[in-house]
Chain A
């Protein structure tokens, strides 16, 4: 089955700890994205990567870091510098064709930091 997997579905951490969220895709997509979703806020872009070993900041990158060492994987680290990390985190991927480049989303990880 082709798709995007995110693990775990729920994650609980203590304040001051870094935490890494996993995102893996087997769709052979070049581009991958991380979004944060808060109630009533829609989807806010954290980081995105168009190709391996390259990534760009989105609109709310502060307090987050990413890596793209493999085409299939785009892990997101939520650092202790992120002031309000509790949220629903969604990973997505897409092709880089000029047509049919819709984004495919993973099931998401709900992070709670106390």
Chain B
């Protein structure tokens, strides 16, 4: 079945270091979404990428969607303790822009002060 893989599963960084999480889909995606879940909280939508090769920035966060629309990445520059949490990517069901999402397992980021 359709799968979304995400690596690494865990990442520990010193405050100020950069962080990247990678997402790969078994199928071509019409779009990809990213979510953040703080410890003890619930996932919160960050962004959606739609176009091949698209790059979007939110302050220190940079999101990329691959040219083949099968992979994506989230890069955080100069991490801060507020970046702590688990980051998930998610893609829609194959052949659809609607319906269910397939979530990656997430990357749990720990930031040491």
Contact = CB atoms under 8 A, between A and B. Distances in A.
Interface stretch (A21-29, A43-51, A65-73, A77-85): A43-51
Interface residues of B, number: 22
B42 A42 contact: no
Given A45-B100, A58-B100, A102 B105 contact: no
B103 interface: yes
B44 A43 contact: no
Contacts, number: 50
A90 B103 contact: no
A75 interface: no
Interface of A: 31, 33, 40-43, 45, 48, 50, 56, 58, 90, 92, 96, 98-108
B43 A98 contact: no
Interface of B: 6, 9, 33, 35, 41-45, 48, 50, 88, 90, 97-101, 103-106
Contacts of A104: 45
9 contacts: A31-B98, A40-B9, A40-B105, A42-B103, A43-B88, A98-B98, A103-B101, A105-B43, A106-B42
Contacts of A56: 100
B100 A105 contact: no
B99 A50 contact: yes
Nearest to A105: B42
A107 B42 contact: yes
Given A90-B43, A106-B42, A42 B101 contact: no
A102 B48 contact: yes
A96 B98 contact: yes
A90 B9 CA distance: 21
Contacts of A40: 9, 105
B35 to A, nearest CB: 8
A14 B54 CA distance: 50
